[in-house]
Amino acid sequence: MERRQAQRGLTLIELIVAFTIMSLLTALAVPLARYRVRQEKEKELRFVLREMRTAIDKYKDACDQGMIEQKLGTECYPETLEQLVEGVTIANDATGRTVRFLRRLPRDPFTNSNEWGMRSTADDPQSMGWGGQNVFDVYTKTLERAADGTPYSEW
C-alpha cells in the first residue's frame, strides 16, 4: 500500500487531546463567569440601596426643614417607598406642586422584583419585619449570602 503524502485531517489522539483541552478551559471559565455575574449583581445592589437610602434621607431633610408636611407618627420619614416616587406636595405652596425623590422604584438584582424589605424607626435593626410606621431603611429580601458570609439583607 502506498501512503498518501497529501493526506489531511486529525488523528484520534489529536482529537482527544484537543477535546480535553477545550473541556478543561470550559470548566475553568464557568466558575469565573458565575463569579463575574454575582459581582455585577452585588455592585448593582450597592448602587440601588445607596440610591434609595439617599432618597429617604432627602425626604427626611425636606421634612425637617418644613418644605413638606410632617405626618403624625412618621418622624419625618416617608410612609411608603411609593411616596418617594409619587411625590409629596410642597408645604405652603398655593399651586400644589409636588416634589419627587425617586423616578421609579429600582429593581432588586437578586430577586428581580421591585419589592424591598423595609424597616421603620421603631423596628430592630436586624429585624426582617416592618412595623409600618415609616420607612427608615430598606434591604433586599434575598436569602443569599455574600462571599464573606454576610447575608445581603444586612447590607
Reported confidence tier of residue 6, pLDDT bands at 50, 70, 90 = low
Residue bearing the bigger pLDDT, 91 or 77: 77
| Cα 112 from Cα 2, distance rounded (Å) | 66
Sequence spans of domains, the chain: 12-154
Look up residue 62 and give its amino acid. A
Average pLDDT over residues 54-82: 91
Q: Which three cell numbers stand for residue 54?
A: 439617599
pLDDT score of 4: 57
| Res 8 pLDDT > 80 | no
Which residues are CB-neighbours of 43 under 8 A, at least 6 positions away?
none
Which tens digit of pLDDT belongs to each residue from 106-137? 999 999 999 999 999 888 777 788 878 899 99
Bridge partner list, 137: 119
Reduced to 3 states (helix: H, G, I; strand: E, B; else coil), residue 115 is: coil
Q: Are 56 and 78 in contact (CB under 8 A)?
A: yes
Per-residue exposure over 112-126, b if at least 16 CB sit within 10 Å of its own CB, e if not: eeeebbbbbeebeee
| Res 32 pLDDT > 90 | no
CA 153 to chain centre: 10
Q: Which three cell numbers stand for residue 107?
A: 429593581
